[in-house]
Amino acid sequence: MPRPEPSAYRVASLFSGIGGFEIGFERAGFETTFQCEINTFCQAVLEKHWPKVPKAHDIKELTGADIPASDIWVAGFPCQDVSLARMGKRAGLRGSKSGLFHEFARLVGEGRPRLLCIENVSGLLSSHGGRDFGVVLGTLAELGYSLGWRLLDSKNFGVPQSRNRVFVVGCNRDWGCAPQVLFEPERSGGMLEKDRKNGAKTVSPFARIIEHPGRKRAVTKAIAYCLYAESARHTGTDWSRNYVCYPEEGRVRRLTPSECEGIMAFPPKWTDLHVGLEGEALDTARYHALGNAVTPPVAEWLARRVKLYLDREDAFESETVAAVA
């Protein structure tokens, strides 16, 4: 993957996963300065793709001074305790996983990044009747950040998956920033699916027949269900709901990890590593990592919005300094 120019804006990543945020921000011209991830398989993925970027494993052991100066911090903090896919009562921000948000907030208070962006499942909005989301907003507001939030569904960004996530943008001492990043003033026509020919026939809103000359036909979904929300076998529910069916053979199979990379819009073989795991164990690690990831096209859209804001602010500051001089 091509790296940005040295003069690019900088992004630091916490709860990095397999680098979905970083892919999107680098496509928009940002430079990745730092990553923090505790999962050993995800660490290996990050090391493969960002071997020269400084890394940490445990956010609890970090201080704000450990994170290089960066224009924005991004973080997809753990969602397990707030997710609607979790069976039983949700622990919310009191849980050992999602409660790590407080460690992120501690670092924000110490490092004071110019901007921040956090991502989580939509269940964060309803956890404990909305009180947990109130804690997130209140904690960051007390640190001096103006905040905005928006639900973004990956299917609206060219990703073949219905994946609704809440994104919170915070700006240090700039009360007009977050709306500029999250909401476009212009109206667009959306991202409508174009008509497809050459053997692809729609059979339902969620299924598509794929014809291959000389091979058995297969039936799969045009838009996949959210990978995390139904991955119990690996991260929470039932992978069989995302399937490929072979009617003539009477056979149904779940998606492969490589197919899931495509459904998450990651580059091919992004998680195809050999790190002491093989067979089902390796597949499970890949499913889990992909199911918890941020889709790069959504991250890229956010990054381009952030860059527009930074460009405008930096230009205004330069003009002000020149006028005073």
Which residues are part of the catalytic machinery? 79
- Give me the residue label for tokens 């501690």: 106
Q: How far apart are the first and last CA of the chain?
A: 42
Where are the strands (E) in the chain, listed by range? 10-14, 31-36, 55-56, 72-75, 115-121, 145-153, 164-172, 200-204, 207-210, 218-220, 243-246, 251-254
Nearest to 201 by CA among 188, 193, 210: 210
φ, ψ at 272 (rounded to 5°): -85, 85
CB atoms within 10 A of CB 214: 4
What SS3 class is residue 301?
helix
- Angle, CA of 151, 231 and 51, to the nearest 5°: 75
Amino acid at 34: F
CB atoms within 10 A of CB 136: 27
What SS3 class is residue 264?
coil
